[in-house]
Amino acid sequence: MREGRLLRGVHRTHTGVHPALESVLAAILGLLVGAVIMLLWGYDPWQAYWALLKGAFGGFGYEIPTSVARGVPLILTALTFSICLRAGMFNIGAEGQMYVGAAAAVTVAYLRLPYPWHLLVGVLLAAAAGAIWSLGPALLKLTRGVSEVISTIMFNWISRFLVFYLVAYVLVDPRQAQRTVRIPFSARFPILVPGTDLSAAVYMALGFALLVYFLLWHTAVGYEVRAAGLNPTAARYGGISIRRTVLLSFALGGVAAGLAGAATTMGLPPTYAIISGLPDLMNLGFDGMAVAMVGRNHPIGILFAALFFGGLNAGGRVMQFYGENPVPLEMVRVVMGTIVLAMAIPELVRIFPALVRAGRALVRRAGPAQGEEA
């Protein structure tokens, strides 16, 4: 009973305000600060925000489907970060795991299978690739004590240049050298709203988020993962295998990132391929970390946060062209960054002690090595 109360207490905020209400208040604060910034530079904030709202959620024919489509990969990369954070680790590797998953999804073009088995095989290949790539940092942490923050960042760079090589020399389309071979029709996610980017990949992202929620909050394994993240020493004395929770959280996070790669390559018209330079994939992993923060690292919260981010992405483009004095791209990014930062601050405050502990652990590890060299 004590453990249950302790885990439930994780969702309480330092202010005593319900997390959902706290997020709404933070969003209002971010909007107000963004409005002040636009006023100082001579732009009309009401016109700009109306354009943002209209471009993001102004209709079901194009605006809302586009916002949802922009949020689909962010749901999955946010889950990558969130799952590991619940286990007490900072997995910064969603970007690299997504790259590898996307490359694995493209390989389905070399298979000849009927629909929907072709689609299913591509999804499974992407999920497996993301999970396998995530096990590298997990094993380094378990066997050598390497900080997952450092190793996942390094693996991001390795996977980035690995996929660059695959796009240029292995998976390249002989007719168009700037991209890989295209995903065949039998392996593509069906488009739900014609004329938009919204595909059936949204069902995959939604289903996986609900699966993670059920696993973490309604199973014994999920309880162990959250307990290990809350207090690893107490969890170890309670008989929980820290090794197992580390491997499970990294593997599950890798699956989520791999699925994000599949959603981007197999469900993004009209490309259905990886373009040289990875423009359709770049920064989705890091944006997912912000989505996780805004969504309070909870699968249900992440769903709403990803929709919000997708709306900012879709509506921000309209801000650049709406009205007599449209807001330029640079100012749009400043305003969007201000809103996101304001909404992320409450969760950053909550996990700040864990960040401090991780930093101190890195210093302790570096100390003896420096002393030995001296």
Token match 């109306």: residue? 50
Above 70 in pLDDT, residue 116? yes
Above 70 in pLDDT, residue 326? yes
If one compares 345 and 264, the residue with the highest pLDDT of the two is 264
Q: State percent of the chain over pLDDT 70.
A: 89
Closest CA to 211 of 335, 303, 137, 328: 303
**CA distance linking residue 253 with residue 248, whole number of Å:** 8
If one compares 4 and 128, the residue with the highest pLDDT of the two is 128
Q: What is the pLDDT of residue 229?
A: 86
Q: What is the pLDDT of residue 232?
A: 83
Sequence length of the chain is 374
pLDDT digits (tens, 9 = 90+) for 57-84: 999 999 999 999 999 999 999 999 999 9
3 state SS for the chain: CHHHHHHHHHHCCCCCCCHHHHHHHHHHHHHHHHHHHHHHCCCCHHHHHHHHHHHHHCCCCCHHHHHHHHHHHHHHHHHHHHHHHHCCCCCCCHHHHHHHHHHHHHHHHHCCCCCCHHHHHHHHHHHHHHHHHHHHHHHHHHHHCCCHHHHHHHHHHHHHHHHHHHHHHHCEECCEEEEECCCCHHHCCCECCCCCCCECHHHHHHHHHHHHHHHHHHCHHHHHHHHHHHCHHHHHHCCCCHHHHHHHHHHHHHHHHHHHHHHHHHCCCCCCCCECCCCCCCCHHHHHHHHHHHCCCCHHHHHHHHHHHHHHHHHHHHHCCCCCCCCCHHHHHHHHHHHHHHHHHHHHHHHHHHHHHHHHHHHHHHHHHHHHHC
Above 90 in pLDDT, residue 202? yes
Residue 115 — φ and ψ, nearest 5°? -75, 140
Q: How confident is the model at residue 373 (pLDDT cuts 50, 70, 90)?
A: very low
The domain ranges of the chain are 14-362
Q: How confident is the model at residue 97 (pLDDT cuts 50, 70, 90)?
A: very high
- Candidates 3.30.420, 1.20.140, 3.40.50, 1.10.3470; CATH matching 14-362: 1.10.3470
Above 70 in pLDDT, residue 4? no
Q: Residues 340-359: what's their mean pLDDT?
A: 74
Q: How confident is the model at residue 7 (pLDDT cuts 50, 70, 90)?
A: very low
pLDDT digits (tens, 9 = 90+) for 134-174: 999 999 999 999 999 999 999 999 999 999 999 999 999 99
Please name the amino acid found at residue 8. Answer: R
CB atoms within 10 A of CB 230: 18
**CA distance linking residue 167 with residue 176, whole number of Å:** 11
pLDDT digits (tens, 9 = 90+) for 211-270: 999 999 999 999 999 998 888 888 888 888 999 999 999 999 999 999 999 999 999 898
Decide: 266 and 201 in contact? Cβ < 8 Å. yes
Q: Residues 9-21: what's their mean pLDDT?
A: 60
Identify any residues that bridge with 180 across adjacent strands, giving them in sequence order: 172
Two tokens at 255?
């699956």
Two tokens at 169?
């020399």
Q: Tell whether pTM > 0.85.
A: yes
